Amino acid sequence: MEKKIEDYIRSIPDFPEKGIIFRDVTSVLQDADGLQLAINSMQEKIKDLDFDVIVGPESRGFIFGVPIAYNLHKPFVPVRKKGKLPCETVSVEYDLEYGSAVIEMHKDALQAGQKVLIVDDLIATGGTTEAMIQMIEGLGGEVAACVFLIELAGLNGREKLKSTRVESVICYEGK
């Protein structure tokens, strides 16, 4: 019987705190069939999408975004934590569960009017993705869609991204 992507994801109860089930994608990455299925499944979700460039945040957005960019012959633009990019950047500060974070991308990474696909491993609260959308739109780009391997529906990230097409391969109802 052929395995589904859910079969490759390791669920770890009570991590990082009691009551949370941590969905671990490293078990997907460590299996050649799992990795191939993950990339193919994400690509399948956006097969009808017209876009110019893929944007992904470090580090798991790189892991899933680059193979999709390679397969579809599209450029890939990395989004990094503050201070990691060498050229002139734009940045957005956003709230985390505890505190805040700043992400950046190169100011010249996108051209006005380009259609962007955001790729990441997981959508939880949607804060990182919302911050990326602000940066992309600030540079004149247009977010065509976001695709995630995993969605944690209980954290309502999709609500923050109401005006954007959101696709996920697997949706867990909880947190």
Point out the catalytic residue in the list 60, 80, 151, 158.
60
Q: Does residue 121 contact residue 140 with C-beta atoms inside 8 Å? A: no
Q: How are strands ordered across the β-sheet holding 89-95? A: 89-95, 100-106, 76-81, 53-57, 115-123, 142-152, 166-172
Task: Tell me how crowded residue 152 is: count the other CB atoms within 10 A of its CB.
Answer: 22
Angle between helix 60-72 and helix 32-45 axes, rounded to 10 deg: 70
* Residue 60 bears catalytic tag: yes
* Residue 10 bears catalytic tag: no
Q: Is 40 exposed, middle or buried (0-12, 13-18, 19+ CB in 10 A)?
A: middle
DSSP letter assigned to residue 99: S
Point out the catalytic residue in the list 17, 88, 97, 173.
97
Give the residue numbers annotated as catalytic, written as ranges.
60, 97
